[in-house]
């Protein structure tokens, strides 16, 4: 015979199982708001998110703006909040400007998880500050990525000369950290001068003309670090247009399909591929875990795959090239 207390705990257990079965019967709607819609990085993230949503029987809604800008992202976020999804995954386009708009989601009882970029300091659930309310941050280690880029570019230029960072704009957590990681690591190379950062507003054409302008002012320019997909693509195009392929060395963050040709032709030395599908997959899984009553880590770090001439043809490496 079971004691009364054992019966009670058994009953609680059965109720908990029934409760979780009920929770799992619900078809959750999870919204993913990218930095912008027309970027192979976020297109690949969406694929990973779709795969996870399929695995748990959730519906994924992918809604974003056509450019990387808080002015266009906030109205999209407001529209998503109005539809009351069960959770929001978002890549905030500015560390500060998305705090209040996202607070509205949290206040409406919608759990918020940030993917790729963060708000505030990116350290969440601390009980401190005005931006700790997201449940989790799922992303690459962007400081490390910047340091990897610095070491690669230093090696490519023979540890001496002039280089610069082609970047998007200040205020974006990812690209700010990549630049910081790059500059901190470059301090280990006293014979390398890091020139002023050129901000291109996520416009590859602007990045290409800036490369030519920097080269016009510095005929001894040795290298450039493109801190995201469009910065890298544009800087590489600028090098090619200036007829400096292989002379001005390029290290790229991100790995769109064009990177294969650019690496094979020697225009780009190396690309640091993030794992956006992994970010999307674990974003959805974290939301689902939370929605079904499980605790989740406040931070999940995803990895990199460094692609260069020696491994670009390897299918275990090529699988990290982004989807178009
Ligand atoms: O590099 C990615 C992303 O990590 C960053 O936050 C913004 O730019 C990209 O989307 C590439 O364009």
Predicted ipTM of the assembly: 0.99
Tokens of 268: 């780009």
CA of 107 to the centre of ligand 1 (A): 28
Instruction: State pLDDT tens for residues 166-210.
Output: 999 999 999 999 999 999 999 999 999 999 999 999 999 999 999
CA of 165 to the centre of ligand 1 (A): 15
87 with 111: CB under 8 angstroms? yes
Query: Going by CA atoms, what residue is nearest to atom 1 of ligand 1?
Result: 228
Q: Could you tell me how many helices (H) and strands (E) the chain has, helices first?
A: 11, 13
The C-alpha atoms of residue 90 and residue 83 are separated, in whole angstroms, by: 15
The answer to whether the CB of 283 is under 6 A from ligand 1 is no
Q: Which residues pair with 88 in a beta bridge?
A: 31, 112
The answer to whether the CB of 114 is under 6 A from ligand 1 is no
The pick from 254, 273, 321 for probing ligand 1's pocket by mutation, whose C-beta has the most ligand atoms within 8 angstroms, reads 254
183 with 106: CB under 8 angstroms? no
The answer to whether the CB of 39 is under 6 A from ligand 1 is yes
Q: What is the pLDDT of residue 238?
A: 98
181 with 304: CB under 8 angstroms? no
Instruction: State pLDDT tens for residues 139-167.
Output: 999 999 999 999 999 999 999 999 999 99
The answer to whether the CB of 174 is under 6 A from ligand 1 is yes
Taking each helix axis from N to C terminus, what angle separates 142-156 and 173-186, rounded to the nearest 10 degrees?
A: 40
Per-residue pLDDT of the chain (324 residues), as tens digits, is: 344 444 444 444 444 444 454 555 789 999 999 999 999 999 999 999 999 999 999 999 999 999 999 999 999 999 999 999 999 999 999 999 999 999 999 999 999 999 999 999 999 999 999 999 999 999 999 999 999 999 999 999 999 999 999 999 999 999 999 999 999 999 999 999 999 999 999 999 999 999 999 999 999 999 999 999 999 999 999 999 999 999 999 999 999 999 999 999 999 999 999 999 999 999 999 999 999 999 999 999 999 999 999 999 999 999 999 999
For 323, which DSSP code?
Answer: P
As a dihedral over the C-alpha atoms of residue 33, residue 36, residue 37, residue 38, rounded to 10 degrees, the angle is: -160
CA of 35 to the centre of ligand 1 (A): 8
Tokens of 252: 């790229």
As a dihedral over the C-alpha atoms of residue 103, residue 104, residue 108, residue 111, rounded to 10 degrees, the angle is: -40
Q: What is the pLDDT of residue 318?
A: 93
The C-alpha atoms of residue 191 and residue 162 are separated, in whole angstroms, by: 9
Ligand 1: nearest atom to the Cα of 41: 10
Q: What is the pLDDT of residue 38?
A: 96
The C-alpha atoms of residue 283 and residue 31 are separated, in whole angstroms, by: 10
Q: What is the pLDDT of residue 26?
A: 86
pTM of the model: 0.93
249-253/270-274 β-pairing = parallel
Q: Which helix (H) or strand (E) holds 142?
A: helix 142-156
Q: Could you tell me the CA-to-CA distances from 274 to 50, 98, 252, 302 in Å, in that order?
A: 18, 23, 11, 8
Cβ-based neighbour number of residue 125 at 10 Å: 15
The C-alpha atoms of residue 207 and residue 167 are separated, in whole angstroms, by: 8
59-62/29-33 β-pairing = parallel
The answer to whether the CB of 230 is under 6 A from ligand 1 is yes
Closest to 155 in 3D by CA, of 246, 269, 234, 260? 269
Reduced to 3 states (helix: H, G, I; strand: E, B; else coil), residue 89 is: strand
């Amino acid at each position: 015979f079971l004691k009364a207390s054992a019966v009670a705990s058994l009953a609680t257990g059965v109720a908990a199982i029934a409760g979780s079965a009920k929770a799992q019967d619900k078809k959750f709607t999870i919204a993913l708001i990218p930095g912008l819609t027309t970027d192979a990085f976020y297109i690949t993230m969406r694929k990973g998110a779709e795969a996870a949503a399929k695995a748990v029987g959730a519906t994924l809604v992918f809604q974003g703006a056509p450019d990387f800008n808080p002015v266009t992202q906030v109205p999209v976020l407001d529209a998503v909040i109005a539809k009351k999804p069960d959770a929001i995954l978002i890549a905030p386009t500015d560390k500060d400007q998305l705090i209040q708009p996202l607070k509205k989601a949290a206040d409406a009882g919608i759990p918020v998880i940030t993917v790729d970029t963060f708000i505030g300091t990116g350290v969440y659930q601390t009980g401190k500050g005005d931006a700790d309310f997201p449940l989790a941050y799922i992303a690459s280690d962007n400081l490390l990525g910047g340091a990897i880029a610095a070491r690669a570019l230093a090696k490519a230029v023979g540890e001496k000369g002039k280089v610069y960072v082609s970047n998007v704009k200040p205020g974006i957590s990812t690209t700010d950290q990549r630049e910081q990681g790059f500059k901190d690591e470059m301090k280990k190379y006293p014979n390398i001068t890091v020139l002023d950062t050129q901000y291109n507003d996520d416009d590859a054409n602007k990045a290409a003309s800036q490369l030519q302008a920097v080269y016009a002012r510095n005929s001894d320019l040795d290298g450039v670090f493109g801190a995201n997909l469009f910065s890298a693509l544009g800087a590489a195009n600028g090098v090619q247009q200036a007829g400096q392929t292989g002379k001005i060395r390029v290290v790229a963050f991100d790995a769109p399909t064009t990177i294969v040709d650019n690496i094979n032709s020697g225009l780009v030395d190396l690309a640091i591929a993030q794992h956006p599908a992994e970010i999307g997959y674990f974003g959805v899984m974290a939301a689902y875990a939370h929605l079904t009553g499980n605790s989740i880590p406040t931070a999940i770090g995803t990895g990199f795959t460094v692609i260069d001439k020696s491994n670009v043809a390897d299918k275990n490496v090529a699988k990290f090239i982004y989807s178009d």
